[in-house]
Structure 1
Amino acid sequence: MEVAKTILKRLGIKEVDGVLTQFGSLIPGLKAKRFDMITAGMYVTPERAKEVDFANPDYSIAEAIAVKKGNPKNIKSYEDIKKNKSAMIGVMGGAAEQKYLTASGVSTRQIKIFNDNPSALSALESGRVDVITMTGPSLKAVLDASKSNKVEKVEDFKQPMIDGKSVRSYGASVFRKGDDDFKEAFNKELEKMKTKRRIAQNLEKIWIYRR
């Protein structure tokens, strides 16, 4: 959001009103013109690109997991979840991790869907799931905000590979199809920021909760 706000200001848009929306409702809301763009750190995927247009990527990020303190089920990868049929994993609805899990062979019966990442963390704390997954910055954000002493990040988590390829993802702001002038103006300023290394300064302020 900080990167987008900086760019919009440079485009002469001084006031930006945020609309609190569940992640799975972002694209439908954009298409219905309830808001004008999405700045929720959404991953660029072929499926989403059929419905909306993405700006140039402004970040790349890896996955992460958290477990109960002490990691009682010794989960260090999606493969470990696949092998342990009793393990339940929590993930935010509409997030890319849901697809990564099923592509890694994790049974849909082992996957519990939540409206947002804090809800998934709450389920982990209460024992309703054994592990939760999201991006690294998202996990850091929810753990820092909760200050929970019941859970921990798995530091030696093995990044998932799908069909022999890393799932490291790229995120970008999102526009309605047809808003080409807006998107191109945004991209132009974004590339200027990249050249001047201003994105790194802005990213230090960001808690990325969505994918």
Structure 2
Amino acid sequence: MNGNLKKTFLAAGIAVGMTAVTAQAGQLTDRINSGESIRLGFAVQPPSAYPGDDNQPLGFANAITVGVLKKMGYSNIEPIVTDWGGMIPALAANRLDIVTGGMYILGSRCKNVEFSEPIARQYDGFFVLKGNPKHINDYADIKDSNSIMVAAAGYNNIEAAKKVGVPEQNIMVVPGPTEMLAAVRSGRADAGALPFVEVEHIVAENADILDATDPTLMPDWTINYTGIAFRPDDRDFLKKFNVALADYLGTPEMLDAVKDYSYTAQNLPGDKTTAWACENR
């Protein structure tokens, strides 16, 4: 092979290699490489995720995500507040790059998004009127007492209640925690179902009229694992995110970052993986 022909083949090989590398990069990697921000989406779901001044991303899910991104060298983050039910559609439509919000890793959601490895283990719980007049401690109690449970649209609590046979007419679905609180306070619903960290937050602000149920009285199958959601096209970025997450999760730095959001070492996910949660939840 003469020198010129050899150079031609070499240049072609380099071009093919560069094309292959480019093809493997997802939209988020391309955005970052072009100098654009990482659009971080979340709903108002304290203490998991909520906006502060100038939409500053607060809550334990946001604190962990921002901490991991910082470890990866990324600080150009654009927080975008949306409603809970619109987070996954906005991610799919490329209006968001990462979704936090304290979202459980569920088999139904794993069909539409790619989750990070778990960032938290969470229990379900209820907020009820003072004294728990209907003696509600788990989903079966909703069914057995013919009570009305209120839940937020898109939350796993609806599926959980139906799993134990709670009739659809006994499940009130509203936009979010504010409407849930109003339903229980007015007596239109007997119990509000949420992740327990959110129950604690609501009860703390309404201690004169509400009680929190004991989450340890819930069956084990109601223990869920929270992850951070990405588009399937961004698996390249997610892989790097998971590596940084493994180094960050459970460190003194991370636990200090979430200490004001009802997250303790007991909420660390342990040995459960996203693959396990997608299969079993």
Q: TM-score, normalised by structure 1?
A: 0.88
Residues 185, 205 of structure 1: CA spacing in aligned structure 2 closer, same or farther, 3 A cutoff?
farther
Using the aligned pairs only, state the percent identity.
25
Matched, 1:149 2:208: yes
Aligned residue number for residue 271 of structure 2: none
Letter in 2 for 1:147: N
Q: Secondary structure at the match of 1:18?
A: strand
Say if 1:22 and 1:207 are closer, same or farther in 2 by CA, change over 3 A: farther
Task: Tell me the residue number matched to 2:239.
Answer: 184
Note the residue ranges of structure 2 that are not aligned, 5 or more in a row. 1-61, 264-281
Query: Hey, what's the Cα distance between the residues in 1 that align with 2:162 and 2:76?
Result: 41
Q: Distance in 2 between matches of 1:28 and 1:97?
A: 20
Moved over 6 A (4+): none
Aligned to 1:170, what secondary structure does the other structure show? Answer: strand
What is the CA RMSD across the aligned residues, in angstroms? Answer: 1.8
1:28 corresponds to which residue? 89
Letter in 2 for 1:55: S
Does residue 131 of structure 2 align to residue 70 of structure 1? yes
CA deviations on 1:84-124 (whole Å, 9 max, x unpaired) are: 22x11111111111100000111110000111122201211
Equivalent position of 1:175 in the other structure = 230
CA distance in 2, matches of 1:92, 1:43: 14
**Aligned 8 A contact 1:78 1:160 in 2:** no
1:60 aligns with 121
Instruction: Flag the structure with larger Rg.
Output: 2
Q: Which of 97, 120, 123 is equivalent to 2:183?
A: 123
Q: 1:24-103, aligned counterparts within 5 Å?
A: 24-85=85-146, 87-103=147-163
Measured after TM superposition, the shift of residue 66 of structure 1 is: 1.3
Number of residue-to-residue matches in the alignment: 202
2:8 equivalent in structure 1: none
C-alpha displacement of 1:31? 0.4
Shift of 1:148: 4.3
SS of residue paired to 2:228: strand
* 2:196–2:215 CA contact under 8 A, matched in 1: no
Q: 1:132 aligns with which of 174, 192, 199?
A: 192
Q: Distance in 1 between matches of 2:85 and 2:149?
A: 19
8 Å contact 1:104–1:160 — kept in the other structure?
no
Question: More deviation in 146-155 or 180-189?
Answer: 146-155
SS at structure 2 position matched to 1:19:
strand
| 1-structure distance, mates of 2:132, 2:112 | 40
2:68 corresponds to 1:13: no
Helix, strand or coil: the match of 1:40? Answer: coil
2:53 matched to which residue of 1? none
Please report how far the alpha carbon of residue 207 of structure 1 lies from its aligned counterpart in structure 2 after TM superposition.
Answer: 6.2
Give, in whole Å, the separation in 1 of the partners of 2:99 and 2:227. Answer: 9
Distance 1:194 1:148, change over 3 A: closer
- In structure 2, distance between residues paired with 1:108 and 1:133: 15
Structure 2 counterpart of 1:60, one-letter code: R
How far off is 1:44 after superposition? 0.7
SS of aligned partner of 1:137: helix
Q: Residue 53 of structure 1 aligns to which amino acid in structure 2?
A: E
Could you say what secondary structure the match of 2:77 adopts? coil
* 1:2 Cα offset (Å): 0.2
The amino acid of 2:247's aligned partner reads: K
CA contact (8 A) 1:4 1:39 kept: yes
Structure 1 spans left out of the alignment, 5+ residues: none
Instruction: Indicate the SS of the match to 1:3.
Output: helix
Q: Could you give the per-residue CA deviations for residues 146-186 of structure 1, whole angstroms, max 9, x where no partner exists?
A: 3341111123762035xxxx221111101001101211111
Contact 1:2-1:205 at 8 Å conserved across structures: no
User: Alpha-carbon deviation of 1:4?
Assistant: 0.3
Letter in 2 for 1:39: T
| Alignment check: 8 A CA contact 1:65 1:157 kept | no
Q: Which residue of 2 aligns with 1:160?
A: 219
